[in-house]
């Protein structure tokens, strides 16, 4: 009987640490969202914006890594896609901070 095993080689990073960081961030969001509604101050809303942005970034980055593979798209498009995800995340966080500092903020807008 011949066994074939497929092993995924990581090009970078420790997946256990990333998984742990994702779980910690998810638990942090469980506290950050109610905290922002009970105490809608600039620092609390900025922390909420940061945690929401990082949470979304990691999710979208995982999708890009899963579906925009070098074996299908070559070497350039996957790297470009990840760079675009980083750009979108930076613009998202910057926009949320701008909204918090110059307008009513996230919590008051949602309320």
- Binding-site positions for heme b read 55
Q: Are 66 and 85 in contact (CB under 8 A)?
A: no
Q: Which residues are annotated as a binding site for a ubiquinone?
A: 67
Q: Which residues are annotated as a binding site?
A: 55, 67
Which conformational region is residue 105 in: left (phi greater than 0), alpha (psi within -120 to 50 degrees), or beta?
Answer: left
In terms of Cβ atoms closer than 10 Å to its own Cβ (0-12, 13-18, 19+), residue 67 is exposed
Q: Are 24 and 50 in contact (CB under 8 A)?
A: no
């Amino acid at each position: 009987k011949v066994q074939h095993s497929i092993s995924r080689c990581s090009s970078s990073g420790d997946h256990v640490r990333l998984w742990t960081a994702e779980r910690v961030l998810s638990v942090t969001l469980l506290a950050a969202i109610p905290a922002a509604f009970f105490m809608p101050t600039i620092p609390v809303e900025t922390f909420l914006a940061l945690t929401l942005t990082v949470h979304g970034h990691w999710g979208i980055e995982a999708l890009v890594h899963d579906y925009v593979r070098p074996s299908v798209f070559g070497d350039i498009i996957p790297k470009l896609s990840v760079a675009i995800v980083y750009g979108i995340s930076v613009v998202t966080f910057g926009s949320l901070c701008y909204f918090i500092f110059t307008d009513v903020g996230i919590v008051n807008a949602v309320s």
